[in-house]
Structure 1
């Protein structure tokens, strides 16, 4: 018997569709090309993705502006880290997945599993972590290999177009909400909250009993934010003083928590707390390296008991928790679905900041 268990149930091609980066760097472009289907090892699964989400972090990796080695250093041409699909091949040692199971691929594909960070639920900070779409082929590629131990099982009842963004945006903001230690009833502000991570945060905050306020601009983001549970939407273009408007909504005192998912919002994040004592500023969105400084007069920290804290992507347990919210009907579709041939168009729209919620790409649909 070989190292791979196969079945005739799945006809696995030699080549598959993928969004491939051309001219990596500030002037990058994405093309849909045919690339080889990878072969899983004995501890791996091969996943045929049905959907991939498009995340702003993908733009950073294609531009190479996060201060990390570029994708090409690792021989990677396809970014992406929000994939949902089915297992079509399993390695001989795999016990936790079988053929036909649903599986998700996340921003981190694997970790060492044994370091002090992995052992205390800080696995996403593991120095040996392998990052999807940077160090290994990402979810813009239809067929992907993933270590079986780190892939996320997707429960029945959650559509793939909902599950794909949960792999990053929902699990990432879930982690931040949990680490904020805010209680039910707290006013929480999402500047840039009409985007993919923020709008998932609105839903989860609402489910946790918090009171979300979105600061963003545009009719589509207003409509989506209010539909997904925001108690108020402040349009920073139409409003003379967004901070004042937020403070008035938040009992005239200010926000208990500010969750910064849009890097441009770091400049004004502290202003939303008003006179609230004990507020949390949670840093989530990644700006280009060296372009943004967040802080204020130390007296503000002292007299207002202010905390500024950062969180990275969600762990496996965070993803499982976010999927459970979706299974219970508390996370809804926040995406616009594009066919695979329009993936480059979706990337350009995302690069220009024109996306309300998420764009997800359907590998099985072509116009």
Structure 2
């Protein structure tokens, strides 16, 4: 069994009584601290996972800073919801109740840590909207720690072909954009616009849309990310920094539509990965007849309606605006299978636990490209 330095497994494979975790020590602000906490024991239906990696998502930032309008985050909350590691223990009933899992298996823990499985959203395959949902890293211990409990029925198996640090961001970012693309109604060969194309969500959306689903991708982001976004498969790129005023936004819409084929018909879908009210206000103008705006990125702060969503305009072009929460268990497996086949590859920067506050500061300044993953074996 893999050993972790500093409070990880010792050489005879026993589970330590304590382990390292990163907590939000001053909720409402960007601030994290490494601490030592008790290692829990799994109960009935639970497993204990020794985590090695955890992705860092903008949703973690929103929870830490109390920016989403959720109930305030508790001080000392262990954040994180993109964890990968190996099963080291089962609850009292043992592994015989979970025939598909065994000790040593590599599994992932997602934004949704657990569901009831019986409410209407659960029965509809909309796990994230479960009426009794447990969110990893928000009033449920998250994955910024070396050991974590998880429901055996809800973890995601990680294919052997996908390294843990590349698998971690797919458990939220990857499955979220994949679910959104599926809901968009776009067909192979259609144009899909992705604002925020070079970010943590966007860079996965570009690959899944183009290489995985056969869409033609138009990326929008800041100019320095152009080469990166095009390397992921985007046919066309627009530098958002060149369109700063309302008049510029109108020109951006004209330019985006001109890039579609037949010329000027507009996109079949816009997947807004940027958590920006401005991105939403621009998005409807990119759509062609019958197009769909899919809301994915959540702007922080006070809620603002989608700009330009006039009933007359929606009716005249039969446009749709839909929301898409993180995907379900089946979609998580499908995304990881795409990664196993080389269709999508997460572009990650690995950082030790002590760098998490700095990562969040860079995230707030929109300086990150791709995804950051915390190496939980390194303080």
Q: TM-score, normalised by structure 1?
A: 0.92
Aligned partners of 1:142 and 1:363 also within 8 Å? yes
Alignment of 1:341-360 (within 5 A): 341-360=354-373
Structure 1 residues 6-49: Cα deviation after superposition (integer angstroms, max 9, x where no partner) = 99863322222222112111x33112222222221121111111
Q: Aligned partners of 2:266 and 2:142: how far apart in 1?
A: 40
Aligned partners of 1:259 and 1:281 also within 8 Å? yes
Q: How many residues align?
A: 355
1:210 to 212, 215, 228: 215
Aligned partners of 2:107 and 2:156 also within 8 Å? yes
Unaligned runs of 5+ in 2: 1-8
Provide the residue aligned with 2:89 in structure 1.
89
Provide the residue aligned with 2:133 in structure 1.
129
Asked if 1:254 corresponds to 2:260, the answer is no
Aligned partners of 2:180 and 2:294 also within 8 Å? yes
Please give the secondary structure, in 1, of the residue aligned with 2:201.
helix
Asked if 1:245 corresponds to 2:248, the answer is no
Please give the secondary structure, in 1, of the residue aligned with 2:359.
helix
1:278 to 254, 277, 290: 290
4+ residue runs over 4 A deviation = 6-9
Please give the secondary structure, in 2, of the residue aligned with 1:117.
helix
Asked if 1:229 corresponds to 2:242, the answer is no
Please give the secondary structure, in 1, of the residue aligned with 2:54.
strand
Q: Aligned partners of 2:50 and 2:122: how far apart in 1?
A: 28
Aligned partners of 1:45 and 1:90 also within 8 Å? yes
Q: Aligned partners of 1:62 and 1:341: how far apart in 2?
A: 16
Asked if 1:188 corresponds to 2:192, the answer is yes
Unaligned runs of 5+ in 1: 1-5
Structure 1 residues 288-317: Cα deviation after superposition (integer angstroms, max 9, x where no partner) = 353321152211111111000001011111
Q: TM-score, normalised by structure 2?
A: 0.89
Distance 1:86 1:255, change over 3 A: same
Alignment root-mean-square deviation, CA: 1.9
Q: How far has the Cα of 1:249 moved from its partner?
A: 1.1
Please give the secondary structure, in 1, of the residue aligned with 2:290.
coil
Aligned partners of 1:235 and 1:242 also within 8 Å? no
Structure 1 residues 260-290: Cα deviation after superposition (integer angstroms, max 9, x where no partner) = 11121112111222xx100000001112353
